[in-house]
Amino acid sequence: MLTPSAIRRCFEGAVPAVIATCSPDGTPNVAYLSQVHYLDDRHVALTFQFFNTTRRNILANPLATVQVVDPETAAHFRLYLRYLRTETEGPLFEHMKAKLAGIASHTGMSKVFHLLGSDVYEVLQVEHVFGAAPDPGTSRPDLLPRLRACMADLGVCGDLAHLFDETLGALARHCGIGYSMLLMHDPTHERLYTVASRGYPESGVGWEVRVGDGIIGVAGCERAPIRIGYTAQAYVYGRAMREGFAHGPDADALESEIPFPGLSNPGSQLAVPLALGNRLLGVLYVESRESRRFTYEDEDALVVLAGQLALTIELLAHSAELHAELPSKVPVVPVRGLPVEVRHYAADHSVFVGPDYLIKGVAGAILWKLLRDYAHHGRSEFTNRELRLDRSLRLPDISDNLEARLILLQRRLAERCPFIAITRTGRGRFRLEVGRPLQLVEAPAS
């Protein structure tokens, strides 16, 4: 028997679907549908956007017939459906809302299309009406071996920094996905911060977004993948959105100095949460200039990869704190040049090197502790474990990924400050390297 999964390509919104319903007195009604959303082989969801005849009819008579068209072969399929319920919040609703925003801006309907609910229907029967036989395959039928190659690359990573870069590298090498970002979750402040990116002029490491904002934030908040096939202005991280997020100089303010590194006008976006059970670890985000670049099958593949990635992150993050290896010998960098002032603002732990902003938040607090220990006690060797135990840092609990914070700090230093570096000297252990004399200044509280 034909099932919805065999015709998922018809649900991408390229050719609008049509729904027939009828009233209790037997008057038929035909209307266009913005979106048919695949749930599983027995259920689909349809957008509920207007209080119209279709709506009145299905509440009175739950039977509906939907015709969809394959965007490549023009084959027609009919779905015989029975209305079950309407969802107005949660992962399904948010995914359909995001997808609808893409379809709306693609069709010039941004001011008209708003999702009121996701109507869930039971699929009673799928009928092949005419045209080519269903082709569940994708334009990239070798996705499974590509996924396998990605997983193999992840498997050999011994530390988090390597894992982050290899994940994005593997997606580029094996799946042809050139624009990607990896963000980790800060559960204390409910935000996601960028630890790696690929394909952009600026790395954007340190860029933050609140859980719930834009496609990345919504995927994180709902623990659900969100895929948009067209440029969706409401989900693009533009300047306006960034400015909208700025909340002033308190400890809770979002990082606003580091701009979003991604495409300003992506044709396709896909955000996949990294989660263990319901615990959010981060979000993997990919995008493309092309419309409809990511298919249902790409979404399947990235969800599988994200599962493996989440497990590996968890494993590596904890092992770094539990087992500190003995430090390896690293040549000491000579200190030379004129002294430079490093200023710390306690309110939000922002750190400036000379006049230039470097970092803030937890990573800023960590850097300040390291610099003080270096300046006052001559220390340069540190372990992840001692940072975790240091109460002055007031680190978030163990669910916070300390190793990811260190990677963020290490990368910001590498990009912005040529004379301060963090170098790995073994698992769970690192060295602070300072190449110029520093003058540490604690800025007075305002």
Partner 1 sequence: MLDQAHAAFIQRRVSILVGSCNADGVPSLARAYGCRVPPDRSSVTVFLALPQSEALLRDLRASGAIAVVFSRPSTHETLQFKGSVQRISPVDADDRPVMQAYGRSFAEEIAPLGFDESFQDAIMAPVEHEGVAVTFAPLAAFVQTPGPSAGRPLGHGS
Residue closer to partner 1 by CB (options 69, 408) is 69
Distance in Å, CB of 113 to partner 1, minimum: 7
The residue range among 56-64, 163-171, 183-191, 244-252 that interacts with partner 1, by the rule CB under 8 A, is: 56-64
Q: Is 110 in the site for partner 1 (CB under 8 A)?
A: no
Q: Which two tokens stand for residue 409?
A: 């700090």
In the shown chain, the binding pattern of residues 129 to 168 toward partner 1, with x for contact by CB under 8 A and - for none, equals xxxx------------------------------------
Q: Which residues contact 164 (CB under 8 A, 6 or more apart)?
A: 182, 195, 196, 407
Closest CA to 14 of 219, 233, 296: 296
Closest CA to 433 of 366, 390, 380: 380
The residue range among 69-77, 182-190, 342-350, 406-414 that interacts with partner 1, by the rule CB under 8 A, is: 69-77
Q: Which two tokens stand for residue 166?
A: 């290899």
Closest CA to 259 of 249, 245, 271, 277: 245
Distance in Å, CB of 13 to partner 1, minimum: 13
Residue closer to partner 1 by CB (options 80, 200) is 80
Residue closer to partner 1 by CB (options 123, 224) is 123
Half-sphere exposure of 5 (CA within 13 A, CB side): 7
Q: Using CB under 8 A, count the residues that bind partner 1.
A: 40
Distance in Å, CB of 218 to partner 1, minimum: 24
CA distances 158 to 203, 237, 428, 431, Å, are 23, 33, 12, 18
Q: Is 61 in the site for partner 1 (CB under 8 A)?
A: yes
Q: Is 68 in the site for partner 1 (CB under 8 A)?
A: no
List the one residue from 59, 74, 389, 441 that touches partner 1 (CB under 8 A): 74
Q: Which two tokens stand for residue 185?
A: 């979750």
Q: Is 18 in the site for partner 1 (CB under 8 A)?
A: yes
Q: Is 113 in the site for partner 1 (CB under 8 A)?
A: yes
Residue closer to partner 1 by CB (options 102, 364) is 102
Q: Which two tokens stand for residue 108?
A: 């010039």
List the one residue from 40, 41, 72, 89 that touches partner 1 (CB under 8 A): 72
Residue closer to partner 1 by CB (options 52, 264) is 52
Residue closer to partner 1 by CB (options 71, 327) is 71
Distance in Å, CB of 349 to partner 1, minimum: 49
Name residues contacting partner 1, limited to 21-50 (CB under 8 A): 21-22, 24, 26-32, 50
Distance in Å, CB of 115 to partner 1, minimum: 13
* SS (HEC) of 106-125: HCCCCCCCCCCEEEEEEEEE
The residue range among 68-76, 88-96, 238-246, 411-419 that interacts with partner 1, by the rule CB under 8 A, is: 68-76
Binding site for partner 1 (CB under 8 A): 18-22, 24, 26-32, 50, 52-53, 61, 63-67, 69, 71-76, 78, 80, 107-109, 112-113, 129-132
